[in-house]
Amino acid sequence: MSWGKAEKKAGRYLKELDTDDVRDQLDAMRAYLKDLTSSFGKVANRQWGRARGQAVDRAEEAEDLMKDHLAASLVVALGVGVLVGYLIRRGSE
């Protein structure tokens, strides 16, 4: 196809194209995407707040349990420390 024929076809297509209609469609798409991202952000923030609250609650529960069972917590920490030290020493040999 020659350049002249392609130019005529493109010109005919552009004449048939209503730029106001395209602009309105783009504006509608922009508004839809804005609403979509806004609602996604609200849901994400809500879920993040809920997850953060649960993590804080679990951490407080663990802290309370460690305070209530201080001797057992110290024995477990000592055991884990000895085990990690053994594994590190064994790995470096």
Residue 69, classed as helix, strand or coil, is: coil
pLDDT tens digits for 11-33? 666 666 677 777 888 899 999 99
Domain extents in the chain: 3-92
What token pair was written down for 88?
């590190």
pTM, two decimal places: 0.46
Average pLDDT over all residues of the chain? 86
pLDDT tens digits for 72-88? 989 999 999 999 999 99
pLDDT at 54 over 70: yes
Decide: 65 and 72 in contact? Cβ < 8 Å.
Answer: no
Report DSSP letters for 11-27, one per residue: HHHHHHS-HHHHHHHHH
Q: Which positions ≥6 away from 86 have C-beta within 8 Å?
A: none
